[in-house]
Amino acid sequence: MIIDKYFPSLTNEQRAQFAQLDELYREWNSRINVISRKDIDQLYCHHVLHSLAITQMLHFSPNTRVIDLGTGGGFPGIPLAILMPEVDFLLVDSIGKKIKVVTAVALELGLKNVCVQHARAEQLRGEKSHFVVSRAAMRLPELVKLSTPLIEKKEQFNALPNGLICLKGGDLTSELHLFRQRALVEELYPAFDDEYFKNKKVVYLPL
Segments of 55-152 assigned E as strands: 65-69, 88-93, 114-118, 131-134
Structure confidence at residue 130 (pLDDT):
98
What residues form the annotated binding site?
70, 75, 121-122, 135
Residue 37 has pLDDT above 90, yes or no: no
How far is the C-alpha of 183 from the C-alpha of 186, rounded, in Å? 10
Is the pTM above the cut of 0.85?
Answer: yes
According to the model, what pLDDT value does residue 38 have?
83
pLDDT at position 116: 97
- pLDDT per residue over 6-36, tens digit each? 999 999 999 999 999 999 999 999 998 899 8
Q: What pLDDT was estimated at residue 137?
A: 87
Return contacts of 101-105, CB within 8 angstroms, 24+ apart.
101/28, 101/32, 101/34, 101/73, 101/74, 102/71, 102/73, 102/74, 102/77, 102/78, 104/24, 104/28, 105/21, 105/24, 105/25, 105/28, 105/74, 105/78
How many structural domains is the chain composed of? 1
Mean per-residue pLDDT for 45-62?
98
pLDDT in the model for residue 47: 97
Give mean pLDDT, residues 174-187. Answer: 93
Angle (CA) 183-76-181 rounded to 5° is: 0
Taking phi first (over 0 means left), then psi (-120 to 50 degrees means alpha), and beta for anything else, what does residue 132 get?
beta
> For helices 96-109 and 12-29, what crossing angle results, to 10°?
150
Write out pLDDT tens, residues 105-147: 999 999 999 999 999 999 997 889 999 999 988 999 999 999 9
What are the tens digits of pLDDT across the range 74-103? 999 999 999 999 999 999 999 999 999 999
Residue 184 to residue 193: CA distance in whole angstroms? 21
> Confidence band (pLDDT; 50, 70, 90) for 57?
very high
Give the residue ranges of the annotated binding site for S-adenosyl-L-methionine: 70, 75, 121-122, 135
What domain range is 192 assigned to? 1-204
User: Residue 112 belongs to a domain with what CATH number?
Assistant: 3.40.50.150
